[in-house]
Amino acid sequence: MRVVRYDICGMTHAGQKGRNEDAYAVIEIADASLLAVADGVGGEVHGDRAAQIAIESVTAAFTGTYRRGMERGEIKDLLASAFAEADLRIRETAKSEGRMGTTLVAAIITNRCVVIANCGDSRAFVTGTGMRFRTREHTLVQMLLEQGSIDAAEARHHPLRNVIVHALGITMTVDLYEEDLRPGEILVLCSDGLPDEAAREILSSGAERGSEEIARELLQGGIARSDDDVTVVVLKE
Transcribe 33-94 into DSSP letters.
EEEEEEEEPTTSTTHHHHHHHHHHHHHHHHHHH--TT--HHHHHHHHHHHHHHHHHHHHHHH
Stretch 179-203: mean pLDDT, rounded?
Answer: 93
Instruction: Indicate if the pLDDT at residue 122 is higher than 70.
Output: yes
**DSSP tag of 167:** B
Is residue 101 domain-resident? yes
For residue 7, list its beta bridge partners.
236
Residue 3 vs residue 95, higher pLDDT = 95
What mean pLDDT comes out for the span 118-146?
A: 89
Q: Which pLDDT belongs to residue 207? A: 62
Inside any domain, residue 171: yes
Interior/surface letters 14-35, b for 16+ CB within 10 angstroms, e for the rest: ebeeeebbbbbbbbeeeebbbb
pLDDT at 71 over 90: yes
User: What is the extent of the structural domain holding 208?
Assistant: 7-236
Quote the distance between the C-alpha of residue 18 and its chain's center. 21
Contact 25, 93 (CB under 8 A): no
Q: Which long-range contacts (CB under 8 A, 24 or more apart) does 96-99 make?
A: 97/46, 97/49, 98/45, 98/46, 99/44, 99/45, 99/46
1 found inside a domain? no
Average pLDDT over residues 151-166: 78
Number of domains in the chain: 1
Task: Tell me the percentage of the chain whose pLDDT exceeds 70.
Answer: 96
- Asked whether residue 164 carries a pLDDT value surpassing 60, the answer given is yes
Average pLDDT over residues 146-156: 75
Better-scored residue on pLDDT, 128 or 124: 124
Q: State the Cα–Cα distance between residues 137 and 166, nearest whole angstrom.
A: 9
> pLDDT category, 42, cuts 50, 70, 90?
low
5 burial via Cβ count (<10 Å: 0-12, 13-18, 19+) = exposed
Residue 192 placed within a domain = yes
Mean pLDDT of 180-207: 89
Q: What percent of the chain has pLDDT over 90?
A: 71
Is the pLDDT at 68 greater than 80? The verdict is yes
Assigned domain for 2 exists:
no
CATH code, domain with 123: 3.60.40.10
* Model pLDDT, residue 45: 67
Residue 206 confidence (pLDDT) above 60: no
Q: Residue 44: which pLDDT band, with cuts at 50, 70 and 90?
A: low
- Amino acid sitting at position 84: A
d(CA 107, CA 27): 11
